[in-house]
Amino acid sequence: MEHLHPGYKWSIRVTAFFKSIFLIIILGFWSLGTISIEGVQTGLTILAVYVIVYLIITEVYTRMSYNRWKYQFNPHELKVEHGIIWKKYTSIPYERVQNVEIKRGLLARMLGYSTLEIETAGRSSGWGRSRNKKYMSEGHIPAVSIKAAEMISEFLLKKINKK
C-alpha cells in the first residue's frame, strides 16, 4: 500500500491550527481576564500550558492520520483505507470510474502535491448530500506527488477508455 505525500502532514497541521484559533483566542482572553499582576502571570502560564498540550495533541493526530491513510492500485480496483479510530475501507472497481480530477490548492502547490478526486458511477455529485460529508467523490486521495497524480490519472483514463 502506498502512503500519501509527506507534505500532507503540514496541511493537517495548518488545518488543525485554523480550526482551533477561535478557541485559543477565547482561552487567551479568559486566562488574562484578571486585573492583578499575579493573575496575569497565572493566566499566561495556563495559556502556555494549553498551547503546549494542544501542539502535542495536534502532532500526535497528524502523525497517526498520515500513517493510517493508504491506497493501492490492484489489477481490477483501487483500494483506499484511512481512519484513526474508525477505519474506512473503500474498493473502487475500474469499471465504475467515470472521471479523474486533479486538484492543487495553494498549500498543496507550495508543498508539492496534488489531490485526486476519482468520480464513480452511481455516486452523487454533491447535490442534496449531507453537509457532514467531507469529500465529494468516492475515490479521494488527498496528497500524492504531482508526477504520481499525472501517472495515476493517465492510468485510470486508459482503463476508462478500454470499456
Alpha helices in the chain (DSSP H): 8-31, 37-67, 106-111, 146-161
End-to-end alpha-carbon separation of the chain, Å? 26
Determine contact, residues 80/122, Cβ cutoff 8 Å.
no
Q: Which three cell numbers stand for residue 154?
A: 493517465
Beta strand 70-73 pairing with 77-82:
antiparallel
CATH class of 70-161: mainly beta
Global confidence as pTM: 0.74
Residue 71, strand partner residues: 2, 80
Q: What is the pLDDT of residues 15-61, one digit of tens each?
A: 888 888 877 777 767 666 655 566 667 777 877 888 888 889 999 99
